[in-house]
Amino acid sequence: MGNLRKLATFVLMFGSAFCLTAQQTDIATWKDYTYPASGFAVKAPQQPHETGTNSGTQYLLYWDEDNDVVLNLIAERGPIDCAAWERWAKNTFKHSGPKNAFKYPPSKVSSPVIPVSASGKVATVDGKAVIEADAPRNAIQDGYQRHECANGKLYHFEAGWRKGERKPEVVDEVIKTFTVLPSDTK
């Protein structure tokens, strides 16, 4: 009887963990969060935490302490010349650089506080240039960065997860829901 009870406990625990993970990646259960002062909206499985920084506002969009996963967004105050930022991005990230090196936009384009991984590549998302990079977050976490400029604001996504594991789907799913608000709603 003891083994049957252990098996039932294991199945119950595994099933609960599976349901929690499924809920976190089931976008239909996520809520919309809008931040007019920072000019964006996003869907997330949990309410983001907001913290002021020197250059703007940081939003902890997703975290899972049990699996060591985090996704942050920093919205710089601005105003940023997005055309100048895009030119800098396209000229600077023609070729991938070392994963542990960083590049900083010139101060006339952006706050030099937020580094961009030198391994970044420019991609086009919704007609805008974005810089994406897979780079270590720290000694125990792999990471991902995405930087984009829209409506005079610069947005920096930064995610981390256990070293050696695949990027969790929830990171891309939250970022896909990110939308910049029209200028007249800020």
What does the pLDDT profile of the chain (186 residues) look like in tens digits?
A: 454 444 333 333 334 333 344 445 577 899 999 999 999 999 999 999 999 887 889 999 999 999 999 999 999 888 888 998 888 888 887 765 555 566 666 666 655 456 677 678 888 888 888 988 888 888 899 999 999 999 999 999 999 999 999 999 999 999 999 999 987 654
What's the pLDDT at 181?
Answer: 94
What's the pLDDT at 127?
Answer: 83
Euclidean distance between CA atoms 136 and 65, whole angstroms: 18
Euclidean distance between CA atoms 158 and 71, whole angstroms: 6
What's the pLDDT at 66?
Answer: 93
Euclidean distance between CA atoms 34 and 70, whole angstroms: 20
Euclidean distance between CA atoms 81 and 12, whole angstroms: 54
What's the pLDDT at 35?
Answer: 96
Single out the residue of 86, 100, 96, 162 nearest to residue 128, CA to CA: 86
Single out the residue of 141, 91, 148, 69 nearest to residue 114, CA to CA: 148
What's the pLDDT at 50?
Answer: 94
For the chain, domains (ranges, CATH) are: 30-185 (3.40.1000.10)
What's the pLDDT at 25?
Answer: 57
What's the pLDDT at 77?
Answer: 84
What's the pLDDT at 92?
Answer: 81
What's the pLDDT at 115?
Answer: 66
Euclidean distance between CA atoms 145 and 132, whole angstroms: 6
